[in-house]
Structure 1
Amino acid sequence: MDMGRYAIFWKPLRHLLSRKLEYVLLFGSCFVATQFAYHSTDSYSASSYLSQVGRAINASSEFITEQDLTAAVETGLRTKDRYISFLESEHEFNDLYQSYDSPDRKKYGIRFDRKTGVITDVLRHSKNYALLQPGETIIRVAAEEKPEKFLAAFQASNELNVVVRGTNKIERSIKLQSGELKSLYTEVEGDTARVTMYSFAYETHVPFVNFLDSLDAKRIHTIEFDLSQCPGGRVNTLTTLLSSLLPKNTKMFTEVRRNKTIAYSTARTPDFDLTKFNGRIRVLKSARTASAAEIFIGVLKYNLPKEKLDVVGDTTYGKWSTIQFKKFLKGGLVMTIGRVYLPDGTTYEGHGI
């Protein structure tokens, strides 16, 4: 065979073949890491997904780029920084993805680590608030002693005997009761209207709007929003709630992404017009107040005069960014896609209110 006429093709091919082992090792290691991290329920491959993310996510370049994702995949996606995180196990991802609506929270008002049984949260309005404390460890639920199976036991019964080990290492047996838990509770006591929020969940806006609409501005002197146990929630719910309080076309906040900036303004005439309200707004916050709950406070502070607003409590968590989820067969990917600013450019990302 006369190779001369094919030299233009043969020389590059020969050079490639001479380095074939190096390329095989490089491609193989990337492929293994990619397949391990991106064992996806979708039909397209990891590389295709990365390409789609790079084009479609509109992520802020300071947060996440296609190159960042590629590098993360090649190292196994084990980073847990504030901009990109691959959560290995299914229940870890579900804990984050469903952090406002998880089954154990809804039924019993508690959350716990699915690997260790350590209690991470007890909702104040649950029947079990006085019985359990964060940091204690559930060591047995009914006859089940494996923490990864505790949730199934909780879901199967409305009343359970559990054994808990306290932070003092002393074990005790207690009976837990389930009950319907909501993301928002309201009440009127004298001249004070109270709104306790545990999540800016998608269903929150309906009771919120209805409650405000029922108030008599002449009789109510104080509206109190308790966000001390609220970790945040959905942007759409946040804008709806603020639109129920502030005048139409009020500038609320801006979300800055890589290729676009989204400005949010109130959308309608408020149900309870604070501009005509002669009383005060009181907001309770804590270090656990985060994300949408923080932005809610920030927007009220920006738009209301000081004599109408009291903000009380510890410095909030400091998450003024928006995230996007991608779920896989095992675990998932969490990406920060934008940062939130008040109309004057202020952000409380990293330091809180």
Structure 2
Amino acid sequence: MSEVTRDGDAQEFARAASRKIIHVDMDAFYASVEQRDNPDLRGRPVAVGGDGPRGVVAAASYEARAHGVRSAMPSVTARRKCPELIFVRPRFDVYRAVSGQIRAVFAEHTDLIEPLSLDEAYLDVTENKGGVASATELARIIRARIKAVTGLTASAGISYCKFLAKLASDLNKPNGQAVITPRQGPAFVAALPIARFHGVGPATAARMERLGIHTGADLRAWTLADLQAQFGKAGGWYHRISRGIDTRPVQPDRQRKSIGTEDTFPADLTDLAQARRETAAMAVKVWRLLDDRRLTARTVTLKVKYADFRQITRSRTLSVPLASAAETQALAFALLDPLFPTPKGIRLIGVTLSTLGDPDAAPPEGRQLTLL
């Protein structure tokens, strides 16, 4: 590595290291809400989700996790791992209400809040409303306040960047917190297994392992040029994060990237007409969600999961925004129809709209349905 690159890395690291970021993650959120509201469930293995042959675990209590039950696991598999598992139907209206209480706690301390989901968020507390100098102490205050308001426990990670704060929040779960300081950051990343890196999925991790990259230290040994040659634009991210550098800001106004819905069916679909009916309903639903949020979209993505759990996606992007629910439906049909006749039954279909934008930016007339 040249001196210029080293100097550049040092400057970038110094800029990032001046921040104080907390990642707050609720402990087994959905399941904990159910155990809070029903004393009979406390101390018992609980799964939130459907218990039927097509059911999927949305969340599992720590008692269930001890038996190997995990979120996104088919319910039949979860039941096999833990015969005494108690299934509870999800109550998303309740979870959203509790999430609102939690975010109100965050807002007592900072306006720089980036929610990732109902149960986790990044907080930039470099400057905070209470003037608390220690981010570690502020994390304790926030966790205690969440407990007092909701009766639920949260874990927290404290660091100088989002990447490490999120990792740290997992280190002492449940109901704990951990700190990774700027001094500790590079060494922590060096020892980190490559599969735990944000942005490295299973396929990329396997590819890296074939290249001899097993840890952050292995990744750090590669030059920026070599990483970009192997991984394209992502190579720059891998190069920086292997050195403990993550300058991404906490973004309270982070724009939504997509709007979608999906459904798992009681019986596999093999008939095109039936699949079209399900897809049409989803297309109308996502269009309404888009319209409610005063957004436009140019991309329609169809997701299909077969009976053997193999999953495919098909997308089309227009040169101009979608004009109506009918057009959304027509585009979804154009993606669905070539999949039939299908050799396997379809257990799940999803429709997602993306490439979102401001409706005021859309051309008012002269639009053409042009597939890119």
| TM-score normalised by structure 2 residue count | 0.23
Judging by fraction of residues, say which structure has more helix. Answer: 2
| TM-score normalised by structure 1 residue count | 0.24
| Larger Rg belongs to | 1
